[in-house]
Amino acid sequence: MKSDIVVLGGGPAGLAAAYGASKQGASVTLIERNYRLGGILNQCIHNGFGLHYFGEEYTGPEYAQKWIEKLSECSVNIMLNSLVDKIEKISDKHLRVWFKNEKGLDSIDCKAMVLSMGCRERPAGAINLCGTRPAGVFSAGEAQKLVNIHGKMVGKKIVILGSGDVGLIMARRMTCEGAEVLGVYEVMPNCGGLARNVAQCLNDFNIPLYLSTSIVRVEGKKRVTGVWVAPVKPDFSFEMDKQKYIECDTVLLSVGLIPENDLVADFGLEMSKVTGSAVVNEFYQTSMPELFICGNVMHVNDLVDNVSNEGVLAGASAGRFVKKGLPENQKIEIIHDSRIRYTVPTYVYKNDEPEIMLLFRVDKEYRKIMLIIKSGGEEIQKIPRPVVRAGEMEIVKIAKAKIKGDLSIEMVELESGKKMIK
Amino acid sequence: MEAREYDLAIIGGGIVGCSLFSEAVLKGVKAVLLEADNDVSVLATKANSGIIHSGYDPMPDSKMARFNVRGNQIYPALCKRLNVDFMACGSLTVAPKEGREKLQMLLERGKKNGVPNLRIVEKAELFAMEPNLADGIEVGLFAPSAGVVSPFNVCIALAEEGVINGGTLLTNFAVDKIEKIKSESGESKIQSEDKKIQSGDNKIQAEINKSGGNKNQDKYIIQSGDKQVVAKYVVNCAGANANEVNALVGIKPYPMNFVKGEYILSDKTLVNFINHPIFPLPSEITKGIIVNVTTFGNILFGPTAIECDKDDTSVDINGINYIKEKVALSVKNANFKKTIKLFAGVRVKSGKDFVVERDTKNNHFYYALGICSPGLTAAPAIAEYFIEMLEQDGIQTKKITAKNRPAYINTQAMDKNSLNELIKKNPAYGRIICRCEEISEGEIIDALNSPLHPYTIDAIKRRVRPTMGRCQGSFCIPKLIKIFAEQRKIKQEQVTIDGKTSELLVSNIKEGGFYEK
């Protein structure tokens, strides 16, 4: 089998990437392991999707359906129930993708790939969750699938560890299904999820959020019987004299997402220590030219609308790469304020593209901020922000024409005048 | 209730009990293995380093030394016979230059114990073997005969081999009573000795009388609640519960202490970080924090050694921090961000040596206890020793044509053509359920239908690995629950991680209202 481009994963990023690539006239094959497209959107039955992209609010499955419909206009070869087993680089612009399905093990050759595999949830071991290992400890997304897709309750008295968005959403969901959610515990001093989710999922249901507090140990031999929680000090050790016991039968973990990029672990891609994934240029191209990447496998997004934008761009870039090549000259590394954890992309080129979209996250909440973009020793853009938060993605559009030989982004706290840049 | 009679009853389905079970069955002994839990290999056997030690560590002339070295000899062929992996990687004990003398001492001790091919390795060669050793390391002791196995894979395979060849496994059989029946002179002493049998269970009595050919034979009725079996020979391999089982026939308790070993297990992407189990210099008490490989490609750090209660397998943050600190003395750049699981197992110690005995008061009653490290290595040798004693004591053996214990189908390890042929015959092998370990539905159904009839998610995990990968089951548990329920024809709410009261699901949704009672 052959295809110009293989898109790996049929969630929101992959759907958009296949669409973007196809619009460039490339032949596209999308490989999805589930029996249907949409990925995790299928289990996100709450609303809030699509406001930015479609100007209308949808549920997860509805948002997926909008993209599946868009994709049906294109002639994309969609392979469902197929798990990619291995990717091989044969030569330049020649990759071989091995996959398994009910028909057996087979391969497809392509000129470029878009990685859109999403992410997985960090398991209990990864955060050194101590105590026993009974039934009743679920990751929030796993519980979400059991409740929303399988129609099953996972517990009655629930403690949520971690304030990621899935955890917040599940706090509300479990409450609506009649469970008692005793609280959300967050090891960090700030919430990991969107402010709107704190308001709509916790505050509206009187579910307490405990910051700088975490689970010391889980109790219960066969099923969870309770947890010990304690405040954490700035060095993340526990204030053990303040620990207290909470009786519960279930612990949901919303303690971070890890890019599901193990398939390309052996390629020696240039990686970001912050995102745990490949570093990209403005085309969402990795350090291996045939590999493009988008969505949560690139960096964890807060809004699916952003994921779709990334997907379209990565797909279109892959299409252009295959069809006529990308305008690459003079690579510029973006320098950023140290309170900005990372930027996507990491590199831009000096070229005639109209603009770049710069995505970044800050390390904690700041109020009354001025973002200053500089190039060639000049301020080329100033963007005021009333508030920036660790849990929320910031997006800045920069006109390419203004970019000279370098590009930096500064953040100034207007009240103190504090700025931090390398 | 029907009580079946066996020549040999083995109490405890850990590595010692399963080794003996399989060996006995292959010798044509009519044997039953009694396991208190829902599966074999559930306690100390499942949670240890999986290292087949070479045997330089135990003191010469101890049972530990003898069984360790002999067990090490047995393992490669045993694993081949069982179709399970044996990684013949050897082991390295590493030290800074002050440790040279101690390594030399270990080498001498090893020679005394009969360990083959031990040698001191100098820095250049050492770092060529293991480039990630810590900077201060200067010298090592290489033990080429050491290896690594999956302890639960071996233990399960042994039990399966026993069952395939006609042995009986009874799970959920927690022995709570053992009655001895003397039949010294052939007259029915049973009747006067045990009223319950006389009045209650004619079948047993009939069976006992019928098989009374060997007149000087004691027999034991072994009970678990209302279930019972009868056996002429009993071997207690009950591990942490061995004293309690011994007490049922009046044997005084041995000193016993329980020592917890905590571990950090990493993702497979750390593969090639090291190639051998790497030991620090051992202390009097423990072999220290090992940086270890698993047969599956994970890196395993641990164990700690902490006095604990018998069944305390919880993990404490102090233990985890201790491991991280000690690991840095052996290797550099250990990436604990790749951690996927913390776990702990409990070793049982009784003094400084293993206890492997024929009881002096109860005829044909034997026990093994205090089988701490290197118990996994020693188990086949302990089994061999028990078989010798049993044969000396007149147990009936006969030649059997042994059936081979087949390996589970592993689609990951198959070449393209044979995999495609398999999937053509049964498409379930092409439906991947556990995406991290790439385990197909077919493999999971195979495990459900395997000889020991496992029925918990953990039991399937120990056989074919779903939920053992980097996501630890968050993607496949919902699918596993469905497959379990369909295959076993039970409700999804009845599917458990580890037996009764470890159910994963509570009810259907929209049956709520827990909050407002």
**B340/A153 CB distance under 8 A:** no
CB–CB of A150/B512 below 8 Å?
no
Give the whole-angstrom CA distance, residue A46 versus residue A59.
5
pLDDT at B286: 79
Chain B residue closest in CA terms to A146: B478
Give the whole-angstrom CA distance, residue A228 versus residue A245.
4
CB–CB of A149/B499 below 8 Å?
no
- Structure confidence by residue, pLDDT tens digits, B380-423: 999 999 999 999 999 999 999 999 999 999 999 999 999 999 99
**What is the arithmetic mean of pLDDT over A250-261?**
96
CB–CB of B146/B51 below 8 Å?
yes
**What is the arithmetic mean of pLDDT over A206-221?**
97
Q: Which of A79, A221, A236, A239 to mutate to test the interface with B (most CBs of B within 10 A)?
A: A221
Tell me the ipTM for this assembly: 0.93
Strand duo B432-434 + B299-302: pairing:
unpaired
Domain B4-44+153-254+353-392 fold: FAD/NAD(P)-binding domain (3.50.50)
**What is the arithmetic mean of pLDDT over A145-159?**
96
**Positions of CATH 2.60.40 in chain A:** 329-422
**What is the arithmetic mean of pLDDT over A79-103?**
97
Measured N-to-C along each axis, helices B15-26 and B151-164 cross at an angle, to the nearest 10 degrees, of: 30
* Residue given tokens 């091995």 in the structure block: A98
**A153/B506 CB distance under 8 A:** yes
Nearest to A125 among B339, B498, B503 (CB): B339
Checking if the pLDDT of B2 tops 60, the result is no
Confidence of residue A422 (pLDDT cuts 50, 70, 90): low
Tell me which CATH homologous superfamily contains domain A123-255: FAD/NAD(P)-binding domain (3.50.50.60)
Give the whole-angstrom CA distance, residue A375 versus residue B159.
71
Tell me which CATH homologous superfamily contains domain A1-121+257-326: FAD/NAD(P)-binding domain (3.50.50.60)
**What is the arithmetic mean of pLDDT over B352-372?**
97
CB–CB of B329/B291 below 8 Å?
no
**Exposed/middle/buried for A45, CB within 10 Å: 0-12, 13-18, 19+?**
middle
Closest CA to B34 of B152, B176, B129: B176
Nearest to A104 among B420, B438, B503 (CB): B420
**Exposed/middle/buried for B309, CB within 10 Å: 0-12, 13-18, 19+?**
exposed
Nearest to B342 among A104, A125, A142 (CB): A125
**What does the block give as tokens for A364?**
């904690």
CB–CB of A401/A356 below 8 Å?
no
**A128/B507 CB distance under 8 A:** no
* Residue given tokens 């470890």 in the structure block: B502
CB–CB of A313/A295 below 8 Å?
no
**A128/B513 CB distance under 8 A:** no
Closest CA to A143 of A222, A40, A65, A213: A40
User: Which amino acids of B are annotated catalytic?
Assistant: 53
**Positions of CATH 3.50.50.60 in chain A:** 1-121+257-326, 123-255
Chain B residue closest in CA terms to A132: B314
Chain B residue closest in CA terms to A155: B506
**A142/B313 CB distance under 8 A:** no
Give A74→chain B minimum CA distance, Å. 28
Please list every residue in chain A whose beta carbon sits closer than 8 Å to the beta carbon of residue B440. Answer: 100
More confident site: A417 or A59? A59
Give B226→chain A minimum CA distance, Å. 24
Share of chain A above pLDDT 90, in %: 92
pLDDT at A269: 96
CB–CB of B112/B54 below 8 Å?
no
**What is the arithmetic mean of pLDDT over B140-148?**
98
pLDDT at A147: 96
Q: Domain spans of chain B?
A: 4-44+153-254+353-392, 91-144+257-349, 411-494
Q: Which of A42, A100, A227, A232 to mutate to test the interface with B (most CBs of B within 10 A)?
A: A100
**What is the arithmetic mean of pLDDT over A272-294?**
97
Q: What is the DSSP string of A226-251?
A: EEEEEEB-TTS-B-GGG-EEEE-SEE
**What is the arithmetic mean of pLDDT over B168-182?**
95
Angle at A151 between CA A149 and CA A153, to 5 degrees: 120
**A104/B424 CB distance under 8 A:** yes
Checking if the pLDDT of B211 tops 90, the result is no
Q: Which of A130, A149, A161 to mutate to test the interface with B (most CBs of B within 10 A)?
A: A130
**A238/B317 CB distance under 8 A:** yes
Chain A residue closest in CA terms to B496: A135
Checking if the pLDDT of B214 tops 60, the result is no
Give B183→chain A minimum CA distance, Å. 44
**What is the arithmetic mean of pLDDT over B340-358?**
97
Please list every residue in chain B whose beta carbon sits closer than 8 Å to the beta carbon of residue A120. Answer: 470-471, 474-475
Please list every residue in chain A whose beta carbon sits closer than 8 Å to the beta carbon of residue B473. Answer: 142
CB–CB of A94/A5 below 8 Å?
no
**What is the arithmetic mean of pLDDT over B290-312?**
95
Nearest to A179 among B440, B481, B515 (CB): B515
Checking if the pLDDT of B163 tops 70, the result is yes
**A125/B498 CB distance under 8 A:** no
Chain A residue closest in CA terms to B512: A178
pLDDT at B323: 97
- Structure confidence by residue, pLDDT tens digits, B474-492: 999 999 999 999 999 999 9
Please list every residue in chain B whose beta carbon sits closer than 8 Å to the beta carbon of residue A136. Answer: 504
pLDDT at B184: 53
**B341/A130 CB distance under 8 A:** no
Confidence of residue A220 (pLDDT cuts 50, 70, 90): very high
**A132/B313 CB distance under 8 A:** yes
pLDDT at B216: 57
B411-494: which CATH number, 1.10.3120, 1.10.600, 3.30.470, 1.10.10? 1.10.10
Tell me which CATH homologous superfamily contains domain B91-144+257-349: D-Amino Acid Oxidase, subunit A, domain 2 (3.30.9.10)
Nearest to B430 among A104, A123, A258 (CB): A104
Nearest to B438 among A85, A123, A258 (CB): A85
Give B431→chain A minimum CA distance, Å. 6
Q: Which of A119, A146, A249, A252 to mutate to test the interface with B (most CBs of B within 10 A)?
A: A146
Number of cross-chain residue pairs from A and B with Cβ atoms under 8 Å apart: 164
**What does the block give as tokens for B407?**
């390996």
**What is the arithmetic mean of pLDDT over A266-278?**
94
**B516/A128 CB distance under 8 A:** no
| Cis bond upstream, residue A345 (ω within 30) | yes
Give B163→chain A minimum CA distance, Å. 28
Checking if the pLDDT of B94 tops 70, the result is yes
**What does the block give as tokens for B53?**
């030690």
**A152/B506 CB distance under 8 A:** yes
Chain A residue closest in CA terms to B499: A222
**B474/A151 CB distance under 8 A:** no
**What is the arithmetic mean of pLDDT over B335-356?**
96
Q: What is the DSSP string of B411-462?
A: GGGS-HHHHHHHHHH-GGGGSEEETTTTEEHHHHHHHHTSTT---SHHHHHH
Checking if the pLDDT of B284 tops 80, the result is no
Closest CA to B94 of B333, B267, B278, B307: B278
Checking if the pLDDT of B188 tops 50, the result is no
Please list every residue in chain A whose beta carbon sits closer than 8 Å to the beta carbon of residue B493. Answer: 152
Please list every residue in chain A whose beta carbon sits closer than 8 Å to the beta carbon of residue B469. Answer: none
Residue A220 φ/ψ, nearest 5 degrees: 125, 130
pLDDT at B183: 63
Give A174→chain B minimum CA distance, Å. 10
pLDDT at B480: 96
Strand duo B91-95 + B139-143: pairing:
antiparallel
CB within 8 A of A392, min separation 6: which ones? A194, A195, A302, A361
Helix H or strand E encompassing B22: helix B15-26
- Structure confidence by residue, pLDDT tens digits, A168-210: 999 999 999 999 999 999 999 999 999 999 999 999 999 999 9
**CA-based max dimension of chain B:** 76
Please list every residue in chain A whose beta carbon sits closer than 8 Å to the beta carbon of residue B301. Answer: none
CATH code, A329-422: 2.60.40
Give the whole-angstrom CA distance, residue B337 versus residue B266.
8
**B474/A120 CB distance under 8 A:** yes
**What is the arithmetic mean of pLDDT over B258-286?**
90
**What does the block give as tokens for A67?**
């993209």
pLDDT at B210: 44
pLDDT at B182: 77
Closest CA to B229 of B241, B216, B220: B220
Q: Which residues pair with B344 in a beta bridge?
A: B262
Chain A residue closest in CA terms to B436: A262
- Structure confidence by residue, pLDDT tens digits, A46-63: 999 999 999 999 999 999
Give the whole-angstrom CA distance, residue A231 versus residue A185.
10
Give B270→chain A minimum CA distance, Å. 11
**B481/A150 CB distance under 8 A:** yes
More confident site: B199 or A154? A154
Nearest to B474 among A103, A141, A222 (CB): A141
Mean of all residue pLDDT scores within chain B: 92
Closest CA to A117 of A30, A217, A10: A10
Give the whole-angstrom CA distance, residue A226 versus residue A245.
7
